[in-house]
């Protein structure tokens, strides 16, 4: 797919979502979760927020049908986009639980399960205590005083 126009990309992705919702992931429809995730992960990297939003809607649908195996297609996506996607997935799961009744517990946050995706997120965000020390606390060698 080589569409350049934001309207065209959004239209194609919205149409893909409607086809998936109508026919699901079947060989007859020509839609598989892998083909949908290939398109969605490409457009989740797009600079336009509307394109990313439509792509995230595709991922939410794919996750609802194919489960956690779609997470492996998310490696390389900007972590702030993954945060937004995680919130959308959480909301979708909570709506599904509420519709199912029986007092299903509501999620307070989304937890990724794919080990490679988790490693990627940790690598991108870095450890929380990896911040540089303030200048006052830096010192050079044993003989130098703190500055």
Nearest CA to 21 among 1, 34, 9, 36? 36
Domain extents for the chain? 6-78+88-99+108-126
pLDDT attached to residue 133: 46
Q: Find tokens 């998936």 and name the residue.
A: 20
102 to each of 65, 92, 96, 98, 110, how far by Cα in Å? 21, 17, 12, 8, 21
Centre a 10 Å sphere on the Cβ of residue 81 and count the other Cβ atoms it contains: 18
Q: Output the tens digit of pLDDT for each of the chain's 147 residues.
A: 455 788 888 788 888 878 877 778 877 777 888 888 888 899 899 998 999 999 999 999 999 989 999 999 999 999 999 999 999 999 998 888 888 766 667 888 888 999 999 999 999 987 654 444 444 444 445 554 444
pLDDT attached to residue 1: 47
């Amino acid at each position: 797919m080589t569409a350049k126009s934001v309207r065209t990309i959004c239209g194609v992705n919205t149409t893909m979502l409607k086809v998936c919702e109508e026919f699901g992931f079947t060989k007859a429809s020509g839609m598989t979760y892998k083909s949908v995730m290939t398109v969605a992960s490409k457009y989740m990297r797009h600079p336009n927020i509307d394109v990313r939003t439509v792509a995230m809607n595709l991922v939410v649908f794919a996750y609802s049908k194919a489960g956690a195996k779609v997470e492996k297609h998310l490696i390389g996506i900007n972590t702030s986009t993954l945060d937004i996607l995680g919130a959308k997935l959480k909301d979708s799961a909570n709506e599904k639980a509420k519709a199912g009744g029986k007092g299903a517990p509501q999620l307070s946050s989304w937890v990724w399960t794919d080990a490679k995706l988790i490693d990627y997120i940790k690598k991108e965000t870095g450890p929380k205590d990896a911040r540089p020390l303030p200048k006052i606390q830096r010192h050079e060698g044993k003989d130098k005083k703190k500055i």
